[in-house]
Amino acid sequence: MTVFRRMVLIFAMLASTAGFGWAQEYPARPITFVVPFAAGGGVDSIMRRMTDELQKALGQSIIVDPRPGANGAIGSAAAARATPDGYTLLATASSTFSLNPNLMKDPPYDQLKDLVPVATIGRSPWLLIVAADSPFKTVADVVAFGKANPGKLAFPFWQSSVLVTGETFGRVAGAQIRKVPYKGAVESMTDLLAGRLPIMFTDTIGARPQLAAGKIRVLASTVEKRPSYFQDIPTLKELGFDVVTDSMTAVFAPAATPKPILERLNKEFTRIVGTNEDIRERLREFGLDPTTMTLAEFDAFVRSEMARWADMIEKAGLQKS
């Protein structure tokens, strides 16, 4: 054995014991979850809702740190560049890890090289809705009308993933649907209820008050499998339209974060999201179907989602900018 090889071996042993010791001590100080969206937004609220349980599980304070800007790229980049010691993590949604890499010409971080997956929290679908007095009773009605009256169907959008959802639906259904830009879901909902828009894709939290008041009907959701809280609503996929555009809320860490730390965090998230009924109920209130994955599953998921969205985005005709 050469001296060099021996040194490498010693270093490797030192590194592994150091890493192991670290994981046992971890966490020794408060953990910050950077959220790349505005305070009060979906991911921010979800993380604040989970803070108590995470603090109990990890024995340290949890800080939720909203860093909005550049459609999530600023906060993601800040987390990607943080010291990889497990004390700065990124809590985000599909828009930064599935959409941004395909929409930004020059993203300030590399999703696959600068970040590693930690844990998933839940998936939230888009819901295809119509006003309660709409003649459309099923997705088939919508498609039939769209085919018979080209250009008469229109859907509102206010962010890339709604746009891609609507465009993909139009493409796979073979119906020409116009896209109408809106500032947000509320303005869109107002025009849907007032009869100015025939259909709309919205999230659960936006749909719930109108659903409770009997003002809208949900025709379908854009998730792979029916979520637990929407057992009676068909998915577009099972109706024969391959539109799966739900958003995953999930946690990432800077790329070089030690594996034991990632495993510890994944274990805690999996336990809380998978078994804590109180948290699961809170997530459902936010329209999230609680979802857990192992590190390997989540890594494979991120890669396949990026490729899937790249395809949908390209076919929807969106350009990188």
Partner 1 sequence: MLFDLALGFSVALSFDNLLLCLLGCLIGTLIGVLPGVGPIATISILLPFTFGITPVGSIIMLAGIYYGAQYGGSTTAILVRIPGEASSLVTIIDGNAMARSGRAGAALALAALGSFAAGTFATIVIGAAAEPLGRVAFLLGPEDYFALIVLGLVFAIVLASGSILKAVIAALIGAILSTVGTDIETGVQRLTFGIGSLFEGINVSILAMGVFGVAEILRNLEEHHSRPVIERHIGRLWPSGEEFKRAAAPVARGTVLGSILGLLPGSGTLLAPFASYVMEKKISKTPERFGKGAPEGVAGPEAANNAAAQTCFIPLLSLGLPPNAVMALILGALTVQGIAPGPQVFTKYPELFWGMVASMWIGNLMLLVINLPLIGLWVSLLRVPYRLLYPAILLFCCIGLFSVNRLPEDIYFMAMFGMVGMLLYKFGFEAPPLILGFVLGDSLESNFRRALILADGDWFTFVESPIAVILLLLAGAMLAATLFPKLRKGREEVLKDD
- Contacts with partner 1 by CB under 8 A lie at 38-40, 44-45, 48-49, 51, 65-71, 73-74, 77, 103, 106, 108, 151, 154, 157-160, 163, 178-183, 186-187, 189-191, 193-194, 196-197, 205, 208-213, 215, 282, 285-286, 318-321
Q: Which is nearer to partner 1, 276 or 294 (CB)?
A: 276
Task: Note the residue count of the chain.
Answer: 321
Nearer to partner 1, 227 or 258 (CB): 227
CB of 105 to partner 1, least distance (A): 9
In whole angstroms, what is the distance from residue 37 CA to residue 299 CA?
A: 22
Nearer to partner 1, 124 or 266 (CB): 124
d(CA 124, CA 126): 7
Q: Give CA–CA dist 222/237, Å, rounded.
A: 7
CB of 30 to partner 1, least distance (A): 16
Distance of alpha carbon 139 from alpha carbon 129, whole angstroms = 10
Distance of CA 85 to the CA centre of its chain: 24
Give me the least distance between CB of 41 and partner 1, in Å please.
Answer: 8
> With respect to partner 1, which residue has the nearer C-beta, 262 or 312?
312
Shortest distance (Å) from residue 187 CB to partner 1: 6
> Taking a C-beta distance cutoff of 8 angstroms, is the pair 75, 88 a contact?
no
Find the shortest distance in angstroms from Cβ 300 to partner 1. 28
> What Rg, from alpha-carbon coordinates, does the chain have?
22
Q: How far is the CB of 310 from partner 1 (least distance, A)?
A: 14
- Cβ proximity to partner 1, 68 vs 84, nearer residue: 68
Q: In angstroms, rounded to a whole number, what is the distance separating the alpha carbons of residues 184 and 175?
A: 24
Neighbouring C-beta atoms of residue 41, cutoff 10 Å: 14
Whether residue 161 contacts residue 72, with contact meaning beta carbons closer than 8 Å, is answered with no
- Which CB sits closer to partner 1, 25 or 106? 106
